[in-house]
Amino acid sequence: MWLKKRRERSAEEALDAVQPVESLRLAAEEGGLHVPQLRLSIPLGEGGQALHINRPEIWVSDGLRTGRWQVDALRPLYRGNRRPPADAEMAHYPPEYVMFFYGIEHNVLLFCELTRPPIDAEFIEIYAQMRRRPDGKSLGPLHDVIWQSAAVALGLRPWSEAEYTAVFGQLSRSARHFQIGPSSRNYLEYLQQTIGSR
């Protein structure tokens, strides 16, 4: 009998594999949700307007069903001690980090379509706060959606604290790159052009 040697997964494939934290796995199981398809679900009220967000109460969906996942803090969701690439490489959104970046920016775009278009300075402030003080006081509904998006990203895949910090550092630099004045909204326009409402 011949045995095939199992091929080792590349670093990119390993990062892409869904490995939910236990609390998310249990919440998905309780709601009958398919874990690999999980994403943040922004609660809507009448007329399709976003409802008030209770930050620790995260609604996740697999596209068919919705379930509630309780998360009190982001820091306990960090896993491992992997080091991120240098800032210059992070500026190009390395393939192994695309799921993290997309998880944040896609939800930002959806939330802004449901509410209002924030100015670039607001994004810079929120992303910097998320990088420095992940579990700091809420700066408002947009901050809460970004916080919940980060929780879902951290809950689905193993990201280290250093990787989390590097992603939010790059998001802050991206928003700063597009800012041209105190009332500019270029970062949101960039998201609309690159992500659209997929």
Mean pLDDT by 10 residues, the chain (198 residues): 44 65 96 95 75 89 95 97 95 94 94 90 96 95 96 97 97 93 90 78
pLDDT of the residue at 5: 42
pLDDT of the residue at 177: 92
Q: How far is Cα 120 from Cα 165, in angstroms, rounded to an integer?
A: 20
Position 184 in a domain: yes
Position 98 in a domain: yes
Ranges of H-type helices in 11-160? 11-16, 22-31, 87-90, 98-114, 120-132, 141-156
Position 89 in a domain: yes
What angle (nearest 5°) sits at the alpha carbon of residue 59, between those of residues 44 and 115?
A: 35
Domains: count for the chain: 1
pLDDT of the residue at 114: 86
Position 1 in a domain: no
Position 148 in a domain: yes
C-alpha 150 chain-centroid distance: 4
Whole-Å CA distances, 113 to 31, 49, 117, 153: 27, 9, 7, 21
Position 6 in a domain: no
Q: In terms of residue numbers, what domain contains 82? A: 19-194
pLDDT of the residue at 1: 39
pLDDT of the residue at 90: 95
Position 14 in a domain: no
Position 64 in a domain: yes
Nearest to 84 by CA among 145, 139, 131, 36: 131
